Structure 1
C-alpha cells in the first residue's frame, strides 16, 4: 500500500537533528567487500533510528526475537524445500537470543543461517535435475499439498528429494495440460482464416497493435499452421526441458545474490517487526523506489508484489497494455514468463526484482505470462509491451445522465503531490478543477471514486475535504511524543454543496480513509462500498541512513521507511485496523479473503483520542432516506447475491491446497473449476445501461489524441459494466429527488398562496 510520506517536514527535521547528534560517533569506517563491520553498523543505525523516530517502537525483547525468527526463516525458505528439520532444530536455539544479538551487534545467527542456506541450495540442484531426467509417469495416483506454511520440514534428504519431485511434477503437469489445450485450439483455429485470427488477437490486445507485433503474430501463425501436431511423448519431453531450463535460470539468479542481499532480508525481518509499514530499502531498492515516483516506463503496466514464494498482480495501470488486453486481473499469480515464442521460465521462488526484469521490456515486444487465477485455473496470457504513462494516475471525471438529471464521476487513483515543486499539479488542485468543470456542466450530484486508492499526500486530503465543507477540521495527527495536531480546512468557501457519494473498497487505504472518514463524520457524503476500508491509520517517513555516518567508505547504506505518526478521525477514532465502515455495504469478490491491516499479526493497535470541534453538515436532509432506500434495493438485487456467492466460493477455493498429480484427475479438477467459473460469468457480463461521456474540454482533446480517446472509451466501458457505480448514481438520484421534492413542495405552497 502507498503511504503518506513527508506531510510535515518540520517534524521530520527534528528527528534527523536528534539522530545526527546522537550517531556522530559512527564515522570514518573503511570499506571492504561484504564487510561484517558494515552489517554491524547497519544493525546499530536501524535499531537506533527506529527507537528514536518510530511512533511506538516495540521493546526489543524475547517476544520481539521470536517474531524476527519466524519471519526471517519463512522469508529464506517459504516453500520449505531447502532446510531440513535438523537445520531448524539447530536454528531454534537462537529463537529468543536475537534481541541480545542485535543489541550487541552479533552476527552469529545470520552467519549460521546464511551459510546453511547456500549449502542446502547448492545440494537441491541435483534433486530437481534427477526428477526431470526421465519421462514422468502421470498415471500414478498421488497428490501434493501446496500449503507450505502448515507443512512440516522434511526429516531426511530422501523426504526432501520427494518433495522436490512432487513440486516439479505439478509444474510440468500444469504445463503439459496447457500445451495440450493450446494444440487443440490450434487445430480448431485452422478452420479460420488468418484475417479472422488476427482480428481476434487484436481485440484481445485492445485493438492496439504495433506493426512489428502484427508481423510477429502473422509469422507465428504461419509457423503454427506448418507445424505438425506434437505427440504426447514430445509434449511431455518439452515440458521437462522447459521446467529444467526455468529452474536452472532461477538458480543462476540466486547464485548472483551475495551476502549483502541476504543480510537485507535479515534486516527487513527486524524492521518489519516494529509494524508492517516499517521496512529497510537497500541501495538499489531505494533507487527503484525513487524512480517509481515519476516518469514513464516500458512494460505491461502492472504492479506486482511478493507473497511467500509467488509473485502476484496487485493492480493494472489504467491505459497500459495489460489493462487494455483485459485478460490479466488483479489477484493473478504469475507462474512463468516467456519472451515471445521462447520457452517460458518458471518464476516461482524467484526474487520480485528478477520477475519484474523478465516482464519489463522494449515497446512492441511480446511477453507471455502463465498465471494462476484466484479460482485456481491456469492460463497463458500474451501481452505486447508498450509505454505506460504515469499520467493515468491523475484525477479524471465523467458525466452520466439519469432520469433527465446529470451527475458527475471523479476517479482519484492516488493522492499525488510534488513536494519539491509547489507549482506542479497535485490531487488537491486537480480535484478542485474537476469539480468546477462538473458544475459548469450542470451536474446535480458527484461521486468521488477512491476504490483501490492506497493513499499519498496528507496535504491533498485536507485540500480535497475542504472543497465540500465550510472551514473546519479534516484530520487529527498524533506524534510519538503524544503531541496532537488538528489539520484544518481554513477556507470558508464550499466548492460543492450538493449531494456527494464516496466509493471505497477494502484496498482504499491511508489518505483515502482520511477523506472518507472526515466526510462520514460530517455526514457530508454517503460512503458506499466494501464492509470496511483497508485499515491503515499510520504515517511513514523515508530516512536516508547515509546522512548519519561521516566519511562513510562502506558504500551506500540504503534508507529506512518508518512509522512516525498516527492519524485520527475528527470524531477521535482511529482508522487503524477498523478502517472506515461503509454507510451502504455492497458485496465484492474479495469480501471474505484476508487482505486488510487487521490480518497482519504485528499491526499497530486501534485506539482513540478526544474528538475535534466540528459541526455536522445539515444541508442534506434526505441523507438517511437515500441510505435506507439503497439497502432495500441491494437486498433484492440478484446480481448482488451472485457476487456474494462468488466471494464465498473464492474463499473456499483459497483454502484448497491439494492437487492431484494424476493427469486425468488433474484435468477433471481444472475442468470443474472452469465450469464453475462459467456460473459467475454473468458478473463480468453485467451492464448497467448508463451512458458515460467525457467533459467538453476532453472531447476537443480526443479529436487529436487517439490514445486519450481509447483510454476514456475504455474507462466509460468499464463504468457502464460497474454495478457499484450504478448504485452510487441511484443514491445520488434519491438524494437529488428529495431535494427536488422539497423544492417542488415549496413552489406549490407559494403558488397556492398567490392564487388565494
Structure 2
C-alpha cells in the first residue's frame, strides 16, 4: 500500500496550504513508499511554490538554470565530466520542474551515477601524472578560469587538463621551495626540490580524493542538488540536511552541546588546541592540549577536516561520546565524556574603552544572535543593553557600534536594539508575499543612550545589520561609517523543519529549509535589498566585488510608501563629518595603499591564463608581489589606538588563561585598525558637534545632591 505524507503546517512560521502529497511511482511499475529523497524534493517544490516571497515560475526555464548551477557545484573546475556526459545529461535539463512535482529523480540519479564514476577515474589519473618529473623550462600555459573553457572532449583531453592543473600546483610549490632554499642555503638541487614539490601536491590530492570517494556520500550530492534548486529561487533560500540545520540553530543561539575542546587539523590529524574552562573536557581532566583524536566513537577521523570531526563530536545534551586519543606522551586511551552546553563567547557582544582626545565607548557585535529555544539563553539585545550600561558607568562621551562582518540574525533583537537609541517608532517595514506591509516598531518610549553614536559597517554587514544602520540613518540618530554600501541582503528567512510536514517514518530526519518569506524596507520606504545601506562617511573598501549584486538570482530593489516616524530631536549633521573625514582620508597613507591594493587585485582577477615555465612564473610573481607587498605596510601607517578592556570584564577573565589570551588578541587586532582609527576621528568631530547638549546633560546628571 502506498504511503501518503500528510502536510502539517507550523502556523506561526508560514502559511502553506495543507493537504496530501501525491508521489509518483518509484521502481518497477508498482506503487512503493516514497524514499527520503523523493519526499524532500516534493516538499521543497510545494514549499517554494506556496511559501516563497516571490517565487519564480517552476518551469523548463527554471529547470535549465538549476541544471547549469548543479553541474557547476559538482564539477566547478571541469576536471571530472566529459563533454559527452554533459550532452547526455542535457536531455534532462528541463526535468527539474517535473521532479519537484513528483516525477522520478532521473536527473539527480543519472548525474550522481556519472560523477561517482568520473571521480573514481580521476582518482586513478592524478597519481600517474605525479609520478613523473615536470619540465619547468618548457613554454606552455594553463587556463585556470572554468568560465573560459569547456569540458574535456574525451579521456585524453581530461588527462591533459589534469596534467596542466597539477603542473601549475606543483610549480607553485616548487617556486616556494626554491625561495626557501635560497634563504636558508640548504644546498638542495632543483631536481630534489621538484620531487619534493610533487610529493606535497600528491599529499594534498590524496586527501582530497579520500574525501571525495569515502566521505562524499549520496546525501551530500543530494543536498547540493536541492540547494541548486532553492538558491535559483533566491540566494538565501537554502536546504539544510539534519546536521547542518543543527549547526545553524547552534550558531543563532550562540551555544551548542559538545565537550569543550578546541580543535585544529594538522597533517591529516585532529589535534586538540585548548580546553574550554568549565566544559565536560575540563571537568573530566584527561584531555590535554596537543592530544590527537584518533576516533570519535567507532569512526576513524584520520584525514578528516575539523568541521567534519566537530560534527561527530557534538550531539544532544546528556549523551555520551567516546574519544580514542593519542596523548603527547605517546599513550593511547579511550575517554568517555557526557555532552553539555558550551557557550560560544566569541559570538557575543563585548565592549572596550578608547581614550585619547575624548573618552569613547566601543561595542563589537559579530551577529544578532538569539536563543529562541531558551528564554534564559543569550540574546544580542540584552547583551548590548548591558554593554551600554557599563560604558555609561565609565562616563564615555560617545559610542561606536561596530557591525563590520555582522551578517545579521534575529529580527526581534535588532528592532529592540534600535530602540535603545531612539524613542518608540517604526524601525523597519516588512512586506509579505501577498503585498501586505507591517511596520515593525520599537514600542518602548525610553532611550537608554542619547549621546553621540556612530555605526561602523562594511560590505559584509548584512540583513539585521543593515536594518540597524538604516534605522539610525533614517532617524538621523547616528553617523554611518564604512564601505560605500553594505551587502544588500534585504530579505527575511524562516527555518522550516521538514519533519513537521510529514506523517510516517522515512528512515531519518528530512532536514530543514531556510525559506525567504518577506522583504525588508527602511522606515523611509527604500528597500535594503541589493543596494544595501550607503555610508554617510565613506571609507575606501579593502574588498573586491562583494555583495548581493554579484548573484544573478538575487531579488530586485524597490520602494514602498514611507512609514510615519519622527527623526531624532538633535539630528546628526553628517555634512561636516563627511567633509572632515574626506580631507583626512585623502592624506592618509594607509588608505592610499588600500586603494592601490584593490586596483592590483582587479588586475589579477582579470588574468585567466598562467605560465607553466619557472622563468615566466617567477617574473609574474615578482611583479604581483611587488604590487601587493605594499599592503603589508598598511598597519605601519596607522596611528595606534589606545584601547582597553573594561576593568569589570577583565576581572571576570582572571584565572582563565585561554580567554585572557583571546581577549588580548582581540584588542591587539584593533590597536592598528585603519577603519576604527578613522571612526574614532569622526566620533571626536561628532562629540564636538554635540558638545553643548552633552555638557548640559552630564552637568545635570552628575550634580551632587545634598541630603535633607
| TM-score, length basis structure 2 | 0.81
Inter-partner Cα distance in structure 1 for 2:33 and 2:306? 29
Paired residue for 2:563? Answer: 612
Q: Is 2:344 the partner of 1:390?
A: yes
CA contact (8 A) 1:24 1:549 kept: no
| Inter-partner Cα distance in structure 1 for 2:100 and 2:167 | 42
Give, in whole Å, the separation in 1 of the partners of 2:475 and 2:209: 56
Q: Is the 8 A contact 1:406 1:443 kept in 2?
A: yes
C-alpha deviations, 1:500-554, integer Å up to 9, x for none?
A: 1100000000110000000000010000100100000111111111222212233
Aligned to 1:648: 599
Counterpart position of 1:103? 101
Q: Post-superposition shift, 1:612?
A: 1.3
Structure 2 residue 171 is the aligned partner of structure 1 residue 173: yes
8 Å contact from structure 2 (residues 640, 671) kept in 1: yes
Say whether residues 1:241 and 2:199 are aligned partners: yes
Does the C-alpha gap of structure 1 residues 707 and 290 become closer, same or farther in structure 2, counting only changes over 3 Å?
Answer: same
Q: 1:12 to 1:503 in 2, by over 3 A?
A: farther
Match of 1:601 among 552, 555, 578: 552
1:270 aligned onto 2:229: yes
Cα distance in structure 2, aligned partners of 1:690 and 1:525: 22
Determine which of 227, 232, 235 is the counterpart of 2:190: 232
Q: CA deviation at 1:555?
A: 2.8
* Structure 2 CA distance for aligned equivalents of residues 643 and 269 of structure 1: 36
Residue 76 of structure 1 is matched in structure 2 by: 74
Encode CA deviations 1:98-141: one digit per residue, 9 max, x unaligned.
32343242322223322222232233233323312222221111
Paired with 2:221 and 2:33, the residues of 1 have a C-alpha distance of 13
Backbone CA RMSD of aligned residues? 3.3
CA 625–242 in structure 1, closer or farther in 2 if over 3 Å, else same: closer
- Superposed, 1:129-168 pairs within 5 Å as 129-168=127-166
Q: Deviations over 1:41-91 (max 9, x none)?
A: 222111012222211211101221121011011112111111222222222
Which residue in the other structure is 1:316 paired with?
Answer: none
- Give 1:112-123 correspondences, 5 Å limit: 112-123=110-121
d(CA) in 2 for partners of 1:539 and 1:353? 34
Task: Name the counterpart of 1:663.
Answer: 614
Say if 2:52 and 2:433, in contact at 8 Å, map to a contact too. yes
Q: CA deviation at 1:595?
A: 1.8
Matches of 1:581 and 1:497, distance apart in 2: 23
Q: Distance in 1 between matches of 2:550 and 2:521?
A: 20
Shift of 1:490: 1.4
Following TM superposition, by how much is the alpha carbon of 1:451 offset from its aligned partner in structure 2, in angstroms?
A: 0.3
1:400 aligns with 2:359: no
Equivalence map 1:71-470=2 (5 Å)? 71-187=69-185, 230-256=188-214, 257-292=216-251, 293=253, 294-295=255-256, 298-299=261-262, 354=305, 356-357=307-308, 390-403=344-357, 405-470=358-423
Q: 1:43·1:105 contact (CA, 8 Å) conserved in 2?
A: no
Q: Name the SS of the counterpart of 1:485 in structure 2.
A: strand
Q: Figure out how many residues of one structure are paired with residues of the other and give that number.
A: 624
Cα distance in 2 for residues equivalent to 1:687 and 1:705 = 31
Aligned match of 2:464: 511
Secondary structure, in 3 states, of the residue corresponding to 1:474?
Answer: strand
Which of 479, 484, 490 is equivalent to 1:537?
Answer: 490
Note if contact 2:423-2:446 (Cα within 8 Å) is conserved in structure 1: yes
The answer to whether the aligner puts 1:729 opposite 2:701 as a matched pair is no
Residues 17/69 of structure 1: CA separation in 2 closer, same or farther (3 Å cut): closer
Distance 2:377 2:244 in 1: 26
8 Å contact 1:572–1:611 — kept in the other structure? yes
Q: What CA deviation, in whole Å up to 9, does each residue of 1:207-248 have, x standing for no partner? A: xxxxxxxxxxxxxxxxxxxxx864433332233334334434
Question: Shift in Å at residue 622 of structure 1?
Answer: 4.3
Matched, 1:739 2:690: yes
151 and 299 in structure 1: CA distance in 2 versus 1, 3 angstrom threshold:
farther
Select between 479-488 and 666-675 the one with higher mean Cα deviation: 666-675
Q: CA deviation at 1:276?
A: 0.6
The answer as to whether partners of 2:408 and 2:463 remain within 8 angstroms in 1 is: yes
Give the Cα separation in 1 of the matches to 2:146 and 2:304. Answer: 23
Partner of 1:222: none
Structure 1 distance, partners of 2:580, 2:353, is 23
Range with bigger deviation, 539-548 or 159-168: 539-548
SS at match of 1:149: helix
Counterpart in 2 of 1:374? none
Which 10-residue stretch deviates more, 600-609 or 263-272? Answer: 263-272
Change (3 A) 1:299 1:667: farther
Local SS of the residue matching 2:559: coil
Specify the alignment match of 2:269 in structure 1.
Answer: none
**Equivalence for 1:686:** 637
Structure 1 745/623 Cα, relative in aligned 2: closer, same or farther at 3 Å?
Answer: farther
Rounded to whole Å, the distance in 2 between the matches of 1:399 and 1:142 is: 57
Residues 356 and 170 of structure 1: is their aligned pair in 2 closer, same or farther, counting only changes over 3 Å? farther
CA contact (8 A) 1:687 1:722 kept: yes
What secondary structure sits across from 1:567 in the alignment? Answer: strand
Three-state SS of the structure 2 residue aligned to 1:272 is helix
Q: CA deviation at 1:636?
A: 3.3
* Aligned positions of 1:9-24 closer than 5 A: 13-14=11-12, 18=16, 21-23=18-20
CA distance in 2: counterparts of 1:605 and 1:63, whole angstroms: 19
Q: Structure 1 pair 603/732, CA: closer, same or farther in 2 (3 Å)?
A: same
Q: Contact 2:62/2:97 (CA < 8 Å) preserved in 1?
A: yes
Counterpart position of 1:477: 430
SS at match of 1:680: helix
SS in 2 for 1:110: helix
Give the corresponding residue for 1:581.
Answer: 534
Moved more, 101-110 or 357-366: 357-366
Task: Return the alpha-carbon distance in structure 2 between the equivalents of residues 695 and 72 of structure 1.
Answer: 50
Structure 1 residues 243 and 731, CA gap change in structure 2 (3 angstroms): closer
Q: Which runs of 5+ in 1 are unaligned?
A: 1-10, 188-227, 303-319, 322-338, 342-351, 367-387, 747-756
Q: The residue matched to 2:585 in structure 1 has which SS?
A: helix
Secondary structure of the structure 2 residue equivalent to 1:477: strand
Q: Is the 8 A contact 1:445 1:732 kept in 2?
A: yes
Asked if the contact 1:465/1:489 (under 8 Å) is kept, the reply is yes
Q: How much has 1:744 moved relative to structure 2?
A: 9.0
SS in 2 for 1:241: helix
Q: Is residue 461–residue 486 contact of structure 2 (8 Å, CA) maintained in 1?
A: yes
- How far has the Cα of 1:708 moved from its partner? 3.9
Q: Which has the higher contact order (CA 8 A, sep 6+)?
A: 1
1:2-53 residue CA offsets vs partner (Å, 9 max, x unmatched): xxxxxxxxx952456745x3247779x99xxx99743322221110122222
User: 8 Å contact 1:535–1:578 — kept in the other structure?
Assistant: yes
Residues 98, 696 of structure 1: alpha-carbon distance in 2 compared, 3 angstrom cutoff: closer
Give the 3 Å change call, closer, same or farther, for CA 561–643 of structure 1 in structure 2. same
| Distance in 1 of aligned mates of 2:326 and 2:366 | 27
Relative to structure 1, is the Cα distance of residues 38 and 639 closer, same or farther in structure 2, using a 3 angstrom cutoff?
A: closer
CA–CA separation in structure 1 for the residues paired with 2:636 and 2:514 = 42
Deviations 1:573-610 (A, max 9, x none): 110001100011100211xx222111101011112222
The residue correspondences of 1:550-569 to structure 2 (distance < 5 A) are 550-569=503-522
Deviation at 1:724, TM superposition (A): 1.5
Q: 1:449 to 1:284 in 2, by over 3 A?
A: closer
Contact map agreement 2:492 2:519 (CA 8 A) in 1? yes
Q: Which runs of 5+ in 2 are unaligned?
A: 1-8, 266-272, 275-289, 293-302, 314-322, 329-341, 698-708
1:696-754 per-residue CA deviation (whole Å, 9 max, x = no partner) reads 312433554444443333333222211211222222221222233688999xxxxxxxx
